[in-house]
Structure 1
Amino acid sequence: MTQEQTAHNWFQYYPKDVAQSYRYSEKALSDYLGEVAERNPDEKAVQFMGTNVTYKEVYDQARRFANALQSKGVVKGDRVAIMLANTPQSVICYYGAMLAGAVVVQTNPLYVEREIEHQMVDSGAKVLVCLDMVFPRVQKVRNNTQLEHVFVTFIKDYLPFPKNLIYPFIQKKNLGMKIEVDYDEQTHNLKQALEATTNKYKKVDISPREDLALIQYTGGTTGTPKGVMLTHYNLVVNTEQCTKWTYRSDDPNPHEKVLAVLPFFHVYGMTVALNLAVMNGYTLVILPKFDPKQVLQTIEKHKVTLFPGAPTMYTALVNHPDIDKHDLSSIKVCLSGAAPLPKEIQKKFEEKTKGRLIEGYGLTETAPVAASNPIWENRRNGSIGLPWPDTELAILDSETGEFLETDQVGEIIIRGPQVMQGYWKREEATKAVFHEDWFKSGDMGYQDKDGYFYIVDRKKDMIIAGGFNIYPREVEEVLYEHDAILECAVVGVPDEYRGETVKAFVVTKTGKEVTEEALESFCRERLAAYKIPRIYEFRKELPKTLVGKVLRRVLVEEEQKKAEEALLSQKEN
C-alpha cells in the first residue's frame, strides 16, 4: 500500500457541522487578543479566585509587558521563558511576549534546579518570568544560563481584598518560610514593571508560517528533553480546528466558560483552554491547581461549559463523595487527553453532568491535537477517533516503510498544518521522527474499516502518570548518581488514580545499603515531584538480554500480572 492509497474514509463519520478542510488565518496568534479586546472590551477574559479581568485589561497589561520586554532589549526571536502556574499573569505574559516578537518557552514551575538550568541553557532564554516561590530555585542556577532579566510575580497580585492580604500568611505557613526577593537591575517586580511603563510597545512584523511562537519541551525516549518548535500558524491552525470541532449550528453564538485547570505550561492546556478561549472571546475560569472539591464548586458557581482535562481528573470527580451535591448541568463538552480514557469513567461523568466527554489524541509535536471522537454523534468508545480537518493519520510499518492496510497494527504517523517545524537545535533528532512529510508518533495502533483509529501501545517505555509524560531513562540516570546503586530500572505500574505510577527496581552495590526513604529524599532534590518513584523494589539482579540490556518489558509484564492477580483475588473475596 502506498501513501497515495491511504483511504480518507473517516469523512463519512464527521460531525455534520464540520467540513473536511478550512482556510486558516494567516496572522500572529497574539493578534486575536487585540481583536477580541476591541470587539468586546468589557467581556470577562479571566475569572480567578474572586477576581474578574476584562479583555480590555488583559490586552492593556499584555502590551505593557511587551513594552517592558522591549525596554530590556528583547527583540524578535529572543526566547522568553514563562514559569508560572495558571494565573492571570500567565495569560498576560504569554501574549505579551508574543506581541514583543519573542518566542515563548513554557517552563514547568515544578522543575528543580537541574531541570530549570537545562531548559534555560538549551533554549537560550534571555528573560524568565516566575512566581516568588520558584525564584530561589531560579537564583541557584541563574549564573549558569544566558538569562539577563528575571521578572518575579505573586499570586496575591491578582487576588481581591481581603484575600490579597491573607494569602501571604497562608503561603508562609505552607512553605515554612517567607520568600525574600532582592530586586536590582536584572531582577524586577512584574506588577511594578507593568505599572511603570505604558502600553505603547513597538509592533513587530510576524510571518505566521515562518516565525516561531513557542518552544515547548517534551521528554525524549532517551530521557533528554527536546524543544518542539511551533510557529504562530501551527498554533492558530490547531486552535481553529478545535473551534470548528466543538461548533454546533444550533448554538451559533455561544459564550463559553472554559475551566482552565490543565496547566498552561502543558501544550494541551495551552491550546484547548488558553488559546481556544482567547481566540473566541470566551471566559477563562482559572484554577492554579486541581482540587476535586474546588473544581466541583467552581463548575457550579461559574456555570462552566467547556472542561478540557485528563482522565485522572474525571476519575477523581466521579468518585468524589460530594459530586451529587453540586449542579454540573452547565457542562457541554469535555475533551479528555494525555492518557487513555476509561469507558466506565466516561459513562459515569456523562451521567452526572449530562454533557459530553470525548477522547482525543495528539502530541506536543502536533500542537497538540491530531484526532478526536465526534462530540455529538458517531462516537466510538475505545477509539481515539477521527483525524481533524486537514489532518491525516496513517499506519506505517516502521521496518519496511510501507503503509499498512485496515486493521493492521503499526506506527501511527501524522501530517497536517499543525505539525511542528522540528526540534530546537536537533537536526538529527528531527530527521529521525519524519517519514517523508509524515511525523512518526512512536505510538502503535491501527485504523478500522470506517477510518477510526485505535492505540494498542504507547511510546516504548514511557510512563503517563496523572497526565504527565515520564521517561524512565531520566529517572534512572538520577538513581544511578546515588553511590549505593549498582543497577536500576524504572517502569510504570497500574495506579487506580494516576493511571500509572513510577516504580523503581534497584540492585545495590556489594556492601552498600540504602533505604526507600533515603532514595525518596535523594530523588526529590533532583526531580520534579511527579517523576519521583512512589514504589521501590530491591532485587539481587535484573532481567537482561544476552548482551546485558535490561529487559524493562519483562518487569512491566510482571507488574501487570500482579495487578491482574490482585484484581481476581478481590473479586473472589
Structure 2
Amino acid sequence: MNENTFLKSYPEEIPFLINIPEMPLFAVLDEAAKKYPEHQAISFLGSQLTYQELKNSVDHFATALSKIGVQKGTRVAIMLPNCPQIIISYYAVLRLGGIVVMTNPIYVERELIYQLKDSGAEVIIYLDQFKQKVANVFPNTSLKLSISTGIQDFMALLAGLYSKKVEATQVNGPEIYYFEDLIQSGEIDLPEVSINVELDLAVLQYTGGTTGISKAAMLSHKNLFTNVVQTRLWLNNMEEAKERFFCVLPFFHVFAMTTCMNLAIYLCSTMIVIPRLEISNLLKQIQESQPTVFQAVPSLYAAIVSNQEVKNYNLSSIKTCLSGGAPLPMEVQERFEAITGGKLVEGYGLTEAAPVTHCNPISGRRIKGSIGLPIPMTYYKIAELLKGEKEVPVGVPGELCIKGPQIMMGYWNKPEETRLALRDGWLYTGDIATMDEDGYTYIVDRKKDMVITSGYNVYPREVEEVLFSYPKVQEAAVVGIPDKSRGEVLKAYLVLKEGEQCTKEEIIGFCRKQLAKYKVPKQVEFRTSLPKTIVGKVLRRILAEENI
C-alpha cells in the first residue's frame, strides 16, 4: 500500500522509520542491570529482586543448564505460571542460544504431548504441582530431562542467594532436577555463544491454525527485540526506570511475553508479577502495588469496571494500558479511563508478528472500533480475498496483510503452511479488514471459524475432534457465541448415534479430561441434524448466526 495513506495520520512525535540495534534479546537484561543494578526488577508476593540480582540469577541458571546439556539450538519447554522462575528460565535459555518453547501449564496430557513432540523439546521446566502430568507424558516425547520448581523456591533463594555450592545432581529418579539446586550449583561460567539475530531462533510460540492444526511460529531474536522497541516507541508516555508493570497476563502468551516481560525489562521497569488471576483480590493488589502500566484482554477490563467494589479502591496510579486479543467495547474503554484516569488503547497483533502490528495512539486520535495505525516500521495492505494479489479500495473488505521486521521466519516444520502465510514478504493474516481514508484499520471478521474466549484463541476443529471421539456422538459442530464477560464462549451442537442418550454434564465432563479449561464448551445443544452444504460440510456460520 501507499504508506502516505496512514502516515498523514501518524502522531508527529513518533518516528515511523527507525534503526533497530543488532542485539540478541537477552541483551536487554544486561543493559538494564548495567544501567540500574539496584533498581527493583521483580516484585512477587511481597519479595523483591533487583536488576543485578535478576541478572545474577539468570547467569547462574544458564551456567547450570549448560552443564546438563543445554546448548545452542536446544529446545527447552517452559511450563510455568507467572513467577520469577519463568523470567529467569526464559532469559537463561536465550543466553545459551537455546530455543524457548512457551507451554501453557493448564494443557492436558494430550495437548502437551503434541506440543513437546512437534517442537522436539529435550528439556522441560515445570511447576512441581504438575510433576505427575510431566511424568505421564515423558515417555511419549523427545524429553531427556526435566527441571521442577515450586513457588516457594524463589522465597528460599532470597534468604541466602547463592550461599550454597552444590553440584547439579539427579534427584527423584533419572534425569530429574530441582531448579533450586541448579541455580545454586556453582560460580558463573557461561560458554561463548555467537548469535545471529536475524537467523537464530529465540522462541517457538504455538498458535492455532484455521484448520485446527497447532503450529509453532518461529520467532528470531530480531523479531522479538524489534517488537519490543516498536511497542515502546508507540506507547511513548512511558519513562525509563519509572514504570511499574502489573503482570497479570500469563507470560507464556506472546502478548504478555512482549508487552509485559520483555518491554518492562527494556524500560528497566519493575514487574509486579501476579501468579493467579482472582478478580476478587485483583483490585486490592492494584491499590497496594500501585502499577503505572496495565496490559490486559477486554474481558479483564470489563470485569474490573463492572465490579461493584471498584469504587472502594484507588486505581489512579494506572496511566498506560493496552488491550488486545479481542475487540474492546468503547463503553468498557471509557469507564476504565474514568475510573483510573489513565489511557487505554486498543491494539492488534498475532503470534506470527511477535505480536503487535497496529495500535491506536496513546495520545491523539482514537477511533471507535478501529485497531488504529501500524506501529513503526510496519506496513500493511488490504488484499482482495480470492487470490490476495491485488489491493482493494478504501472501505472495501479484504485480507489484512502485514510486512515488517517483527514478522516470523515461518512455521516450524511446516513448509506448506509457511508458503501460504508468507508471500513476497507479506504475512497473510487470514483476518478480514477494511481501511478508511486516513489509514485507520478495522477488523470486520476474524480468522475463519476461530473463537476468542477470554483472550485465548480456540479452533473449533480441535474441540470437535474430541467430541467425535466420544462413543455416543455421531456429529459435532462447535461455534463461538457472544458472552459479556469472556467476549465469546464455545457452544457445541451434537447429533447422537441412534438409540443413544446423553446429558450436557456428561459431555462437558468428558471434554474437561481432554481439553484445557478455556476450550471446554460452556453450552451443549442436542439436535437431530446439523445444517450442511450440498457436499455435506457443516455450516458453522448458520449455527453461529442463531445466537446473534
- Indicate whether 1:259 and 2:246 are aligned: yes
Q: How does 1:99-114 map to 2 (within 5 A)?
A: 99-114=95-110
Partner Cα distance (2:304, 2:189) in 1:
45
- Alignment correspondent of 1:124: 120
Deviation per CA, 1:314-360: give whole Å up to 9, x if none. 00000111111111111111000000000100010000001001000
Deviation per CA, 1:15-40: give whole Å up to 9, x if none. 23210111001011001111211221
Q: For 1:187, which of 148, 159, 176 is the aligned residue? A: 176
Question: TM-score, length-normalised on structure 1?
Answer: 0.92
- Alignment correspondent of 2:415: 427
Task: Determine if contact 1:298/1:304 at 8 Å carries over to the other structure.
Answer: no
Deviation per CA, 1:464-502: give whole Å up to 9, x if none. 000000000000000000110000000001111001001
Task: Determine if contact 1:81/1:104 at 8 Å carries over to the other structure.
Answer: yes
Q: For 1:13, which of 9, 13, 23 is the aligned residue? A: 9
Structure 2 counterpart of 1:528, one-letter code: A
- Indicate whether 1:274 and 2:270 are aligned: no
Partner Cα distance (1:135, 1:383) in 2:
44
- Indicate whether 1:377 and 2:373 are aligned: no
Structure 2 counterpart of 1:81, one-letter code: A
Deviation per CA, 1:194-240: give whole Å up to 9, x if none. 11233222131111011000000001111111000000000010000
Q: How does 1:445-484 map to 2 (within 5 A)?
A: 445-484=433-472
- Indicate whether 1:65 and 2:61 are aligned: yes
Task: Determine if contact 1:48/1:159 at 8 Å carries over to the other structure.
Answer: no
- Alignment correspondent of 2:428: 440
Q: How many residues end up aligned between the 2 structures?
A: 537
- Indicate whether 1:217 and 2:202 are aligned: no
- Alignment correspondent of 2:496: 508
Q: Which moved more, 1:33-42 or 1:493-502?
A: 33-42
Structure 2 counterpart of 1:51, one-letter code: S
- Alignment correspondent of 1:366: 353
Q: How does 1:218-237 map to 2 (within 5 A)?
A: 218-237=207-226
Task: Determine if contact 1:74/1:102 at 8 Å carries over to the other structure.
Answer: yes
Structure 2 counterpart of 1:124, one-letter code: G
Structure 2 counterpart of 1:530, one-letter code: Y
- Alignment correspondent of 1:76: 72
Secondary structure of the 2:430 match is strand
- Alignment correspondent of 1:486: 474
Partner Cα distance (1:534, 1:10) in 2:
41
- Alignment correspondent of 1:177: none
Secondary structure of the 1:133 match is helix
Question: 1:252: Cα distance to partner?
Answer: 5.4
Q: How does 1:23-422 map to 2 (within 5 A)?
A: 23-159=19-155, 183-248=172-237, 253=240, 255-400=242-387, 401-422=389-410
Task: Determine if contact 1:99/1:203 at 8 Å carries over to the other structure.
Answer: no
Secondary structure of the 2:546 match is helix
- Indicate whether 1:524 and 2:512 are aligned: yes
- Structure 1 vs Structure 2 CA RMSD: 1.6
Structure 2 counterpart of 1:186, one-letter code: E
Task: Determine if contact 1:61/1:199 at 8 Å carries over to the other structure.
Answer: no
Task: Determine if contact 2:60/2:183 at 8 Å carries over to the other structure.
Answer: yes
5+ residue gaps, structure 1? 164-180, 561-573
Partner Cα distance (2:154, 2:71) in 1:
28
Partner Cα distance (1:326, 1:16) in 2:
36
Percent of aligned pairs with the same amino acid = 43
Partner Cα distance (2:187, 2:509) in 1:
47
Structure 1 counterpart of 2:533, one-letter code: T
Question: 1:160: Cα distance to partner?
Answer: 7.8
Task: Determine if contact 1:335/1:357 at 8 Å carries over to the other structure.
Answer: yes
Question: TM-score, length-normalised on structure 2?
Answer: 0.96
Distance verdict in 2 for CA 1:254–1:70, change over 3 Å = closer
- Alignment correspondent of 1:555: 543
Task: Determine if contact 2:60/2:186 at 8 Å carries over to the other structure.
Answer: yes
